[in-house]
Amino acid sequence: MTASSSVEPRAGAPASTIISVRDLRKRYGQLTAVDGVSFDVAEGEVFGILGPNGAGKTTTLEMIEGMRPIDEGSARIDGIDVRRDPREVKRRIGIQLQSSAFFDELTLVELLHLFGQLYGRDVDPQALLGLIELTDKAKSQVRTLSGGQKQRFSIASALVNDPRVLFLDEPTTGLDPQARRHMWGVIRRIRGEGRTVVLTTHYMEEAEELCDRVAIMDGGRIIALDTPQALVDALIGRGFRKERVERLANLEDVFIDMTGHDLREDD
Amino acid sequence: MRLGVLWALFIASAKMFVRNRAAVFFSLFLPLIIMLIFGVLNFEGSTSIELGIVDEAQNDASAALVERLGDYDYLVISEGERDAELAALEDGDRGYVIAIPADWAPPAPGSESGLVAYASNADPAQAQVGQGLLQQAVGQALFAPAGGGTDEGSGFAAPLQFESVESRDLGYIDFLVPGIVGMTIMQLGLFGVAFGFVQLKRTGALRRLFATPTSPAYFLSAQVLSRLIIGIVQVAILFGVGIWFGLQMFGDYLSLLVIVLIGSAIFLAVGFAIAGWAKNEDQAAPVANLVSLPMMFLSGVFFPRDAMPDFLASITQFMPLTYVNEALRAVVNEGAGLLSLGPQLLGMGVWVVITFVLAVVMFRWE
């Protein structure tokens, strides 16, 4: 199946295309990591890229962000050609990398000010920390944060330049169920501010929760691209039925019911 | 050039260094502790007399005299040209110099010895003891018949008329502090950069900077600047402690600063070459040690290189830290200005070029 270039209008606002990717390719020697990927993302959309490890999700993301050279094809963000002007693109986007490492000896407030300077902006650290609910850790050094807190902080650091598009590479990998749900709340809030979000994930449930549309990648290609509901409907339309009787709850529902939605101290 | 960015990164880089206890310990406290230990141990206690001999006669009699003086264990003898030996006397490297004039012949007992003797005026108390011992040794050596036997009494009670030479009284602390300063800027460049930077590379903290529109060159510049400033502060602390221990500064601080900066440039470049090549700290550590350990012991940090076997001395004289230490000592101990440090500055300049090229070739951001 070829990638769809049609964009679904979102209710209320007329959707305009903010990301446009055409025939993107990346080769490492014999291996073609990304093999002709094309898609569009509408402004305000949450767009998910799904796929098994090695499918080319991160490479695709990094080429669009200007973090990795594009071998072939093109990517435009907000009208800017990434190949031609990666720095202008970086000015307009926020990036959360898969490994959320920072300068360990600096405090959260110091880091947010520093990142602001890298964009030539003065930032309001308290507002950013409020968004990710880390206000009480403002004066702590990064090395004292837990994995989930680091992941949330890396989202705050990606927002210092008030970006129109936010890229999140596996934002919830390695988090416990509470921290994951908390992260979903953060992402919805960011979407609520009118920003476009592109994320990769291994969790289908997360994609269903958050994404307006998803692209499924395998072997460097997009093999499906649509809304989660449309993809499910299409599968059922092909005659697919789950063998098990549908349960009204699953183990995660039990876990959350018994341990609550609240984040834990050490998270 | 956005100065605000550079400043923000510089401050961040300095904070990171100061808050990193291991880095502070190894680059600041370790040299200080080494200095305190060596300063307290004080290696000056030896009773030997450093005697320079200028043999201008170059005949059998003068050779015999020199040979007989060589039998005295408490005389540490160096031979050389008059100018060189007198300069060494002024610098405090010799306690005494005896010159054997070109027309010298062995004197008859009781007559004038014909030798010209110079004594350092640096330490009068010690000079008196040394002069007594030297009179005795030379008296016996002059009297001794060819073939040995020096103990039959002296025909020359006081053969030497000492001429006092204005010279500097240099203690071990005067030798040690410039060496420790050299070692410190080496350690700071090698370890301060190699470890911190490799760690940022391994964890991905460096990549996070690439996600911003600011060029990574700003980060590199800020790192170099912060290390230079920290280096200068460290040198100031070491000097302060050194002066408290009795260090004498004969040179000017501007020359010292220039040498410290050039030396830092060399070792920062080596540090970035290692940090750029290594993928993690485990790769960086052995290489950094491989570079630093030989220099720490062979570039004259703790002990004079004169004591080395000739073949070793001739190789190690080309080490970057050797040039740095020599230049530092020339400024601190002899009051040399930059203009008189041609050979050392040339040596350092060549190393700056070599290490800079090395850093550019080896450096990788990821």
**A positions 146-175 inside 8 Å of B (CB):** 154, 157-158, 161
Res. B42 pLDDT band, cuts 50 70 90: low
Give B254-313 pLDDT, tens digit per residue: 988 999 999 999 999 999 899 888 888 888 888 888 888 888 888 888 877 777 788 888
**Do A67 and B8 count as a contact with CB atoms less than 8 A apart?**
no
Chain A residues with CB under 8 Å of B213 CB are 87-88, 90-91, 118-119
Confidence check: pLDDT of B90 > 90: no
- State residue A12's pLDDT score: 45
Q: What is the mean pLDDT of residues A60-68?
A: 92
Q: If we measure between CA atoms, which residue out of B125, B144, B51, B64 comes closest to residue B94? A: B51
Instruction: List C-alpha distances in Å: A6 to A10, A61, A222, A235.
Output: 13, 20, 15, 20
Q: Indicate the range of A159-163, B30-34, B69-73, B197-201 predicted with least confidence.
A: B69-73
Buried b (16+ CB within 10 A) or exposed e, A140-178: ebbeebbebbbbbbbbbbbbbbebbbbbbbbbbeebbeb
> Do residues B80 and B73 touch, judged by C-beta distance below 8 A?
no
Find the helix or strand (DSSP H, E) in which B85 lies: helix B82-90
Q: Indicate the range of B121-125, B130-134, B279-283 predicted with least confidence.
A: B121-125
Q: Give phi and psi for B241, each to the nearest 5.
A: -65, -40
Q: If we measure between CA atoms, which residue out of B55, B83, B153, B159 comes closest to residue B114? A: B159
Confidence check: pLDDT of A16 > 60: yes
Res. B142 pLDDT band, cuts 50 70 90: confident
Res. B153 pLDDT band, cuts 50 70 90: very low
B214-219: long-range contacts, CB 8 A cutoff, minimum separation 24:
B214/A118, B214/A119, B214/B2, B214/B5, B216/B365, B218/B2, B218/B5, B218/B6, B218/B9, B219/B9, B219/B13
**Do B9 and A117 count as a contact with CB atoms less than 8 A apart?**
yes
Give A207-261 pLDDT, tens digit per residue: 999 999 999 999 899 999 999 999 888 888 888 887 776 778 888 888 888 888 7
More confident residue, B163 or A53: A53
Rounded CA gap, A168 and B36, in Å? 53
ipTM of the complex: 0.81
Rounded CA gap, A138 and A123, in Å? 14
> Dihedral of the CA atoms A255, A258, A259, A262 (nearest 10)?
110
Instruction: Using CB atoms, pick whichever of B9, B210, B214 lies closest to residue A67.
Output: B210
> Mean pLDDT, chain B, as a whole number?
81
Q: What is the mean pLDDT of residues B121-132?
A: 68
**B positions 2-31 inside 8 Å of A (CB):** 2, 4-5, 8-9, 12, 15-16, 19-20
Greatest extent of chain B over all pairs of C-alpha atoms, in Å: 91
> Do residues B122 and B169 touch, judged by C-beta distance below 8 A?
yes
Chain B residues with CB under 8 Å of A101 CB are 200, 203-205, 208
**B positions 190-209 inside 8 Å of A (CB):** 200, 203-205, 207-209
**Touching check for A109 and chain B: CB below 8 Å?**
no
**Do B16 and A117 count as a contact with CB atoms less than 8 A apart?**
no
- State residue A255's pLDDT score: 84
**Touching check for A263 and chain B: CB below 8 Å?**
no
